[in-house]
Amino acid sequence: MADNYIKRILEANVYDVAVETPMSPAQFLSDRLSNTILIKREDEQPVYSFKCRGAYNCISKKTPEELAKGVVTASAGNHAQGVALSAQKLGIKATIVMPRTTPEIKVASVRARGAKAVLHGDTFDEAFTYSQKLVEEKGMTYIHPYDDPDVIAGQGTIAMEMLRQCTGDIHAIFVPVGGGGIAAGVAAYVKYLRPEIKVIAVESTESACLAAAMKAGKRVTLPHVGIFADGVAVAQIGKHTWQVCKDHIDECITVTPDELCAAIKDIFDDTRSVAEPAGALGVAGLKKYVERTGIEGKTLIAIESGANMNFDRLRYVSEMAEVGEGREVIMAVTIPEKPGSFQTFCNLLGKRPITEFNYRYGRDDAAQIYVGVKVPEGGKQDLLDELAAKHYPAVDLSNDDVSKYHIRHMVGGHAPESVDNEILYRFEFPERPGALLVFLKTLGKRWNISMFHYRNHGAANGRVLVGLQVPKGEEAELKTYLDEVAYPYWEESDNPAYKLFLR
């Protein structure tokens, strides 16, 4: 299957709009990981992502008749910009259907290039369905974001450049995966010319459709897709891309949103570029691979696939980067409730920087504090062991979603005894104007809301923590109601952070 793409890649027409991007040495990361780390800078494309390659190659190979009524696509943003730029270059009309959750920077970029942006639905699948309706009704030519041989071939030109730019030994190339276009293009070319090089796919844990397909031995559809890494928020790997990836991808690595935040920081430290979450997948997967295998002295390449980052999302990335790197510990610590306890505790921490410290009087004998502490890489367990040795009970909350997204902003006292029958739920919902108000009105009609926390993270999905007073015997009715709300939710009544600080 890979052989079929070599001629397509060699004949791909991309450089009317794309540029040959550099391979930047990542010196800080190389020193830390004891390997030579190179970053393929696809963020330096005119649309700040690699997507213009596949889009232009695909559109340029259409017939005049196919282009006469204009082109249409569905995209969360980067492919949309690639199509808009390509259509502008070729002087044809383009309509881009984008989910309403698409970052504004990507919508504005599409419109700035003369394309018509239509916002429809909350997910890529809803946008895709609407784009197909336009194809049927208006005869427009559809340009698929990843599942088209000409799109795959256009993305494959990245591999041509990488093997030209780095002619020595390469141990592995780390490729981001959404629908699989760039992974299929890179794998097809690399495995044909240099089969000894590992091609490793990297996915977000929130949208790992290739990993699920590899495990099942066939394409599967994920029941739910998270959209922190909106550029790869795809529920099913493509048909064409699967045919290449299943035989030529060496392995899949999945990374968490926190690990992506840490990788964004690493990329910035080495290149001063700000990758979007999907753009940092390659580096995040590379780091995880080195940690797992312990390899040293090898050349590893990660593709930085895009830099279309909303500015207001940076605060969230900054907050989570140290946690994702394992350089910040978030803890609940019990200390004596008496004068001097805070000072004694801080003395124990020594010169470790405190990133957060929250407390409110709760009971006479002990104080429950919420504290964040910066530690050296790998130093988390040393701190926890030191606290245990000094008889400070501590609960590590670094990987607890309720703690990271909500409790850290809410610490201020426990509920009074009058708040009984409280059940805690965590929700996610599409972030758009008015969504929080609709959610709040809908949820508050039946049961009393005893606690509520929402914070805009600059992301495409909103996170809400809700306490509901549900009388005994009404739990089944509540579950039926929540299922009808149709937002992803998780009960968190047994969450340790909730019990320690708020219950």
81 and 161 in a common domain: no
Q: For residue 335, what are the domain limits?
A: 326-399
Determine whether 51 is an active site residue: yes
Asked if residue 404 belongs to a domain, the reply is no
485 and 437 in a common domain: yes
For residue 249, what is the DSSP state? -
What pLDDT was estimated at residue 50?
A: 97
Q: What is the CATH number of the domain that holds 107?
A: 3.40.50.1100
Asked if residue 22 belongs to a domain, the reply is yes
Q: Which residues of 276-314 are buried (b: 16+ CB within 10 A; e: fewer)?
A: bbbbbbbbbbbbbbbeeeeeeebbbbbbbbbbbbbeebe
Q: Are 439 and 426 in contact (CB under 8 A)?
A: no
pLDDT averaged per 10 residues in sequence order, the chain, 503 residues: 84 96 97 97 96 97 92 88 95 92 81 93 83 93 95 98 96 97 97 97 95 96 85 91 96 94 95 95 98 97 93 80 76 79 76 72 72 82 89 88 77 70 82 61 69 62 79 87 80 88 77
Asked if residue 285 belongs to a domain, the reply is yes
Instruction: Among 299, 322, 345, give the residue marking a domain's end.
Output: 322
Instruction: Give the global pTM.
Output: 0.78
Asked if residue 405 belongs to a domain, the reply is no
What pLDDT was estimated at residue 191?
A: 96
Q: Tell me the H-state helices in 277-419.
A: 281-293, 314-325, 341-349, 380-389, 401-405
314 and 185 in a common domain: yes
Asked if residue 407 belongs to a domain, the reply is no
**Alpha carbons 271 and 267: distance in angstroms, whole number:** 6
Look at the alpha carbons of 220, 223, 227, 228 in this order and tell me if their dihedral is positive or negative.
negative
Instruction: Among 276, 294, 322, give the residue marking a domain's end.
Output: 322
Asked if residue 121 belongs to a domain, the reply is yes
68 and 174 in a common domain: no
**Alpha carbons 290 and 288: distance in angstroms, whole number:** 6
What pLDDT was estimated at residue 230?
A: 81
158 and 253 in a common domain: yes
What is the number of domains present in the chain? 4
What pLDDT was estimated at residue 64?
A: 93
What pLDDT was estimated at residue 250?
A: 97
Catalytic residue, candidates 86, 131, 207, 305: 305
Task: Count how many Cα atoms sit within 13 Å of the Cα of residue 63 in the half-sphere of its side chain.
Answer: 2
What pLDDT was estimated at residue 351?
A: 75
110 and 247 in a common domain: no
Asked if residue 454 belongs to a domain, the reply is yes
115 and 45 in a common domain: no
Asked if residue 358 belongs to a domain, the reply is yes
What pLDDT was estimated at residue 455?
A: 59
Q: What is the CATH number of the domain that holds 334?
A: 3.30.70.260
205 and 133 in a common domain: no
Catalytic residue, candidates 40, 51, 246, 265: 51
What pLDDT was estimated at residue 400?
A: 86
User: What is the chain's Cα-based Rg?
Assistant: 25
133 and 26 in a common domain: no
Instruction: Among 322, 349, 376, give the residue marking a domain's end.
Output: 322
Contacts 24+ apart (CB under 8 A), 95-99: 95/70, 95/71, 95/131, 95/134, 95/140, 96/72, 97/72, 97/73, 97/127, 97/128, 97/130, 97/131, 97/134, 98/74, 98/127, 99/123, 99/124, 99/126, 99/127, 99/460
What pLDDT was estimated at residue 375?
A: 85
155 and 30 in a common domain: yes
Q: Write out the H or E segment, with its range, that includes residue 475.
A: helix 475-485
233 and 216 in a common domain: yes
317 and 188 in a common domain: yes
Determine whether 24 is an active site residue: no
Q: What is the CATH number of the domain that holds 417?
A: 3.40.1020.10
